[in-house]
Structure 1
């Protein structure tokens, strides 16, 4: 059997993140705001934003954050050069960089191995691939907090130890429906189902933080349901898979995630939560959940028509 894919999950609670200071450097206002809201919804105590690498360096000096999220492509100074400037401060004093060992998490749409290696050589700790989900963002924080890398200073390289594999967060559906490797170990199944619940809860916290659904959270909901369908298929949980597929079908029928009724999405969230909270194989509960879900979706579709 093919090796299973690393599933983004997190056991960190909001109380664990309350003392953190996180800097987000991204010139795209919508993305920066979304990351900001994801972090605040997760319980991160303080979050600041910078629109380019030079402004980020100013905030490094003035604020000394615990973690930096940086976009790859930015004006004036991009994420790679920002990371290099932070690491160089380990050997050449830089009054703008109080902590050369600062964990750096790169936000990027790049997925090629060559680009990943380029960022690793610059001294990046972890990656979040765009488009992202709330759980994929928080899982990177979990990695840098609970599995910190040794810091290397040598003639050829300055930064986190590259001998440990850099985690690339999964942020999209696989190319083929048959791609998921089936999870057969019971402990791994439980962990995968827990991941579904973690990602769903992270999404709901984000929606509450933003004051309800908007275009960005609707699109993110669509991605989370794609992930949920994929994982449910891995663990042979057909009812959770059906609920996720129902939401994706509803979005298609409405003409896209942005046109969906938030109330219908909440019905799907509740349905998955009920199924995850019940023993697997509870046919009566599963039938009732699906019946209520189909009734709600049918009513909304008729209203929209």
Structure 2
């Protein structure tokens, strides 16, 4: 099976994903559409949606999803109350809840200690922070399917075991920038390059699924580039750092990622992928590709200045 047939960095194959049904619960239509596109681009067979917890309960009864992604704050019934209602069916049978143990992943723009504790007490399995990247969503699918936690039913709590295992991380090695380059070993650098490759592959699939670069994918690309630069700096991967930094600097210069030229964004993703797929020892080849990107940025900058002067 090729790498394209697998969920990034997992043993879950295309057949596993094709048979998977996922419910996305969010009152923002654009967020639902974006998450749906990410999941379908990854190969998830069935993706359903609901605008709030009450509507979600009806969808759960009809569809019996294998995973639920839910926003925290929604009208009528929020993500916490939805989670509590699903878990309660473990002790009070409910025709609207065929599987009270279904993995529930909360998607939120807030992750204070208090809110995390409230979500865990409600019975949430995992968290995804907004703004999310494709790999963030996919990593949580991997986590709940490949490393399920025991389901607990007690007088004070119903839900997955709250003793946390080590979460799947796309953060890369945790080197300090002050560490000398020679301490960054080959294993760490390859691990970091693998995590970067995971996010780029997921990002490229999303862009293809949406028919090209748009505002939502531009914003997501910006976050992916921030992650890429951070990881590249950790392991002293100079060309990956230079390529991602070039796009971030250009975005800042033109007033935000949404103002970046789509050709330039796609060129950066192509070059980063080429660097990752090439032999790590080919420093000259990587440098040549990055210089090409920097030249493209200069041409775009000159064209913008000419357009402003006209």
Q: Mark the CA change 1:15 to 1:240 in structure 2 (over 3 Å): closer, same or farther.
A: farther
- Deviation by residue 1:163-197 (Cα, 9 ceiling, x = unmatched): 124749779xx9xx9599x9835333322211101
- With CA pairs under 8 Å and 6+ residues apart, which has the higher RCO, 1 or 2? 1
SS at match of 1:48: strand
SS at match of 1:208: helix
Alignment check: 8 A CA contact 1:126 1:166 kept: no
**In 1, Cα distance between equivalents of 2:31 and 2:169:** 17
Count of residue pairs the alignment pairs up: 293
Alignment of 1:85-234 (within 5 A): 85-165=85-165, 167=167, 184-234=184-234
1:296 corresponds to: 296
1:245 corresponds to: 245
Q: TM-score, normalised by structure 2?
A: 0.89
Q: Mark the CA change 1:56 to 1:224 in structure 2 (over 3 Å): closer, same or farther.
A: same
2:5 corresponds to: none
- Deviation by residue 1:14-50 (Cα, 9 ceiling, x = unmatched): 4431110000000011111111111011110000110
- Deviation by residue 1:244-279 (Cα, 9 ceiling, x = unmatched): 000101111221111111110111112111211222
1:4 corresponds to: none
1:269 corresponds to: 269
SS at match of 2:285: helix
Alignment check: 8 A CA contact 1:127 1:167 kept: no
The alpha-carbon deviation at position 222 of structure 1 amounts to: 0.5
**In 2, Cα distance between equivalents of 1:165 and 1:112:** 20
The alpha-carbon deviation at position 283 of structure 1 amounts to: 2.5
Gaps of 5+ in 1: 1-8
Q: Mark the CA change 1:49 to 1:41 in structure 2 (over 3 Å): closer, same or farther.
A: same
Q: Mark the CA change 1:147 to 1:204 in structure 2 (over 3 Å): closer, same or farther.
A: same
Q: Mark the CA change 1:137 to 1:257 in structure 2 (over 3 Å): closer, same or farther.
A: same
SS at match of 2:68: strand
Q: TM-score, normalised by structure 1?
A: 0.90
Gaps of 5+ in 2: 1-7, 306-310
